[in-house]
Structure 1
Amino acid sequence: MKAMVATRKGLFEMIHIDGKWELDQISFLGEPLSMCLHDKRDGAVYAALNLGHFGVKLHRRDEGRDDWTEIAVPAYPEHAKTDDDVEWKLKVIWSMETGGGDEPGVLWAGTLPGGLFRSPDRGNSWELVRSLWDREERKEWMGGGYDTPGIHSICVNPRNSQHILLGISCGGAWKTEDGGKNWGLSASGMHAAYMPPDLADKQNIQDPHLIARSKFASHVLWCQHHNGIWRSEDDAASWQQLHLPEGIPDFGFAVAAHPRNPDIAWFVPAVADQKRVPLHGSMSVTRTRDGGKTFESLRNGLPQQDCYDLVYRHGLAVSENGKNLLMASTTGNLWASENEGEDWYQISANLPPIYAVKFY
């Protein structure tokens, strides 16, 4: 078992040997990565870099090789600014996902400022999905944690690669059932308490922090929203808010769905809005095992005092067996669990700030 850790100062790859995680190799040391991706269809690995003045770069490492190849990056077409306040310029690759097993070479990339891109050829070329970008509703989207809106969740249905759900901060959830030719809003039931009451239920201004799909039951989805936790059992046609016990915050960014049991999911709670730290400086993971009817707080092995780590959207991952989890923080802490989150141990406390973790 291996994992990738995308940080502000490089890509750190870990390997699981004899029941523990060890550092395997480092790539792009000193350079900030916004996302990484493993394509299990052909074994390729992708690394998205955000080099500031030098712009966004994208690299691919083919299976069995040690060297990386720089490939194309998504590029917005030239635009004569009219009534669009958003600059048509790539700022960050915030999410990446592979197409289905019946689409070899197809990749998807979600970006700031809110554009979705598709590559038919393993990242050698990209095209903006204009059917979404040109929607009139996009002009209502707004930034969440960033100044501009962004696509952070790309949920490809494992049973039908033409069915894709996106999570956008702040632009709600959008779904296509024809591979991106047509799109519709799919955030019914979500509630934005940060908006005036007459706008709070509007689908197009919702702020889902992350959406995760059950691989076993693809119609089941989980959402960590700015205002709580939601679940859908009808492929995002409707969403139901879940209610946590007193003392467990329902604010956070990360969510991981069990790959084999649609009733199990994990979240990382934090104090909302300006503070964004663990409640009372005590690190925990929230888990449900009954589809959101009840929740429990998992703490064994995690620091329980003077801990102020924040886990970003892509900082929590679960392996294909559903037992191994990795959790990474903006403070450079990396924790692992071998038993579905019951117990945790620290792999490292000295990594750079971590943006994403991925099993492969």
Structure 2
Amino acid sequence: MSSSTRSDRAWVATRKGLFELQRKGADWRIARLNFLGDPVSMLLPPQADGRMLAALNLGHFGAKVHASDDAGASWQEVATPAFPPQPEGAEGVPWKLVQIWALEAERGTVWAGTLPGALFRSSDFGRSWSLVESLWARPERHQWFGGGYDVPGIHSICPHPQRDGELLVAISCGGVWVTRDDGASWSLQASGMRAPYMPPEGADDQNIQDPHRVVRCPAAPDVLWCQHHGGIWRSGDNAASWQEVTTAPLSSFGFAVAVHPTDPQRAWFAPGQADERRLPVDAALAVNRTRDGGAGFETFRAGLPQQHCYDLVYRHGLAVADDGEHLLMGSTTGGLWASADGGEHWAEVSLTLPPIYAVRFG
């Protein structure tokens, strides 16, 4: 897929299928629907050769993975990540796949983050998977716990585009972990994050942080943004340290964050009320954008519902295209909105989709 078309196609993973969108001018339309009626928990958009993956969560029938070789025109079931047999007496969560929560690809390797908090890799585009045992075997894993789910999960996978073998993963609730040797070893790198939901003596514990979502700027990969359960954090030194951003209006709570592909100072957030509410502030949907690394923010509402709005935007429900101007945002109640000017104005695409789990551009 050429770079000139990457802002013209997008995919929306929902509770009842995978919707492919195409854009003409300012208007988006649904071009194709796959897996009608099935929950699609995550997708990997088409690679340069047209191959893509979709992860399904079929309840009683378990999690499944499907692959397409033609950018979503046809699909075939492939292998599903699977844990080895659980040793007798092993502590912690059961060694059983609950859901695939993240899919990313880099240099021929596909990575899958799961509930419970495990990382799998595939070198043959989903035909086989192997557990990254070095992370799963970390003794710190036994202190991880669920954040919204009953078990911890890996939801953010950030390969370093300029360094072979370097990968960052974020875990709810288990902090941020980095490997620089292709998964042979891992280091915990959540220094500076703080968990206000913990007792004061444990709030700075890196291993229990709940980063709701972490994204990396492709053009400046040492810059990372994090929407945390307790606020917004930014790192300018490749996760060696994190600094809290305290200037966000409305609320610093939320789940989603997107970063501009070439400008590491620019990022978008979907603010919400915290634990006791889980809805937009004052029941009015808004998007916060910073253009100066968090020193200041702008709040945009044009085109978004401003009364009786109870939509939550999940971790993967906000995406920015490679041009840095087109954005899509999907909600838990099936609302989907598009922006063509960096988030300043939004247009309704649909209000009747199934609940939206993830939005990704081609």
TM-score (norm. length: structure 1): 0.97
Question: Which shifted more, 79-88 or 299-308?
Answer: 79-88
Say whether residues 1:291 and 2:293 are aligned partners.
yes
Helix, strand or coil at the partner of 2:135: helix
What's 2:327 paired with? 325
Structure 2: stretches of 5+ with no match in the other structure? 1-7
Deviation for aligned residue 1:82: 1.6
Matching residue within 107, 116, 122 for 1:119: 122
Structure 1: stretches of 5+ with no match in the other structure? none
Which runs of structure 2 are paired with 1:146-185 in the superposition (5 Å)? 146-185=149-188
The answer (yes or no) to whether the contact 2:145–2:173 under 8 Å persists in 1 is yes
Distance 1:335 1:64, change over 3 A: closer
Helix, strand or coil at the partner of 2:31: strand
Letter in 2 for 1:185: L
Helix, strand or coil at the partner of 1:161: coil
Structure 1 segments of 4 or more deviating over 4 A? none
Which runs of structure 2 are paired with 1:1-360 in the superposition (5 Å)? 1-63=8-70, 66-99=73-106, 103-104=107-108, 106-245=109-248, 247-360=249-362
Deviation for aligned residue 1:66: 2.2
Distance 1:196 1:345, change over 3 A: same
What's 2:5 paired with? none
Deviation for aligned residue 1:286: 0.6
Letter in 2 for 1:76: F
Distance 1:37 1:49 in 2: 12
Distance 1:29 1:164, change over 3 A: same
Helix, strand or coil at the partner of 1:198: helix
Deviation for aligned residue 1:179: 1.1
Deviation for aligned residue 1:64: 6.0
Distance 2:25 2:347 in 1: 15
Distance 2:227 2:72 in 1: 37
The answer (yes or no) to whether the contact 1:39–1:98 under 8 Å persists in 2 is no
Deviation for aligned residue 1:63: 2.3
Deviation for aligned residue 1:39: 4.0
- Provide the identity percentage: 56
Helix, strand or coil at the partner of 2:207: helix
Distance 1:39 1:165 in 2: 22
Deviations 1:88-140 (A, max 9, x none): 000000000002xxx32x10000000010000110100000000000000000
Distance 1:81 1:142, change over 3 A: farther
TM-score (norm. length: structure 2): 0.96
Distance 2:301 2:153 in 1: 32
Letter in 1 for 2:95: W
Deviations 1:157-182 (A, max 9, x none): 11113111101000000000111111
Deviation for aligned residue 1:341: 0.3
Distance 1:114 1:64, change over 3 A: closer
